[in-house]
Chains A and B, each alone.
Chain A
Amino acid sequence: GAGVSQSPRYKVAKRGQDVALRCDPISGHVSLFWYQQALGQGPEFLTYFQNEAQLDKSGLPSDRFFAERPEGSVSTLKIQRTQQEDSAVYLCASSLRDRNTDTQYFGPGTRLTVL
């Protein structure tokens, strides 16, 4: 079956531009997560959705980062006024339920480069 998909796979932005990254989770999955993976590091948690509710946004690095999941399926991560330090791979993951033992399935990521 279809896994988690993300688009675009690659994004180059000039400093100061706004970008929007899309995540299509596995159909029917309740939980959706965003992570940020800087070069040579492990992914770091950004935010969590349970259906359409954003229950945890403690990992968002600044108020320039905004995420939404209005209908409880597709999610968008928006970064306003991009900075060079925003360059990273942004990973989306979904899991079937909201249990802490559930397996998270990851998308291929969007590699963002800010010039």
Chain B
Amino acid sequence: AQSVTQLDSHVSVSEGTPVLLRCNYSSSYSPSLFWYVQHPNKGLQLLLKYTSAATLVKGINGFEAEFKKSETSFHLTKPSAHMSDAAEYFCVVTPISGGYNKLIFGAGTRLAVHP
């Protein structure tokens, strides 16, 4: 069975400082991994995805994540936080084998950005 664990329910950073949102996964198969962002009253938006190509994945808005199989991790980072980054972030896994991608979400990490 597949699952993801987001290690922090809340993260608070100052504007202009680095962001690190941690995610560990569990999967019997080689997984596809995603990060989604959810702003208040808006739909989930894909930030980036890993699908067994390059282990360092670059996404939108300056975010990136590195797939580390030995650590079963897929942490999300950004060098410099912006006020507009404040939102809920979800780490997501889906098995790479088989057909359609039933997404399995983590519990989410709420990112607060302070001036």
Q: Which A residues form the contact surface with B (CB < 8 A)?
A: 3-4, 31, 33, 35, 40-45, 48, 50, 55-56, 91, 93, 95, 98-109
Query: Using Cβ atoms and an 8 Å threshold, which residues of chain B touch A109?
Result: 43
The answer on a CB contact under 8 Å between A42 and B43 is no
Interface size on B (CB < 8 Å)?
26
The count of A-to-B residue pairs whose CB atoms sit within 8 angstroms is 69
Told that A42-B108, A43-B44, A100-B95 touch, could you supply 14 new A-B pairs with CB distance under 8 A?
Answer: A33-B102, A42-B107, A48-B102, A56-B100, A95-B101, A100-B32, A100-B96, A100-B98, A100-B101, A101-B101, A103-B46, A106-B43, A106-B45, A108-B42
- For this complex, 25 residue pairs linking A to B, each with C-beta atoms less than 8 Å apart, are A3-B43, A4-B43, A35-B105, A40-B108, A41-B108, A42-B90, A42-B106, A42-B107, A43-B44, A43-B105, A56-B100, A91-B43, A91-B44, A99-B99, A99-B100, A99-B101, A100-B32, A100-B95, A100-B99, A100-B100, A101-B51, A104-B101, A104-B103, A106-B44, A107-B43
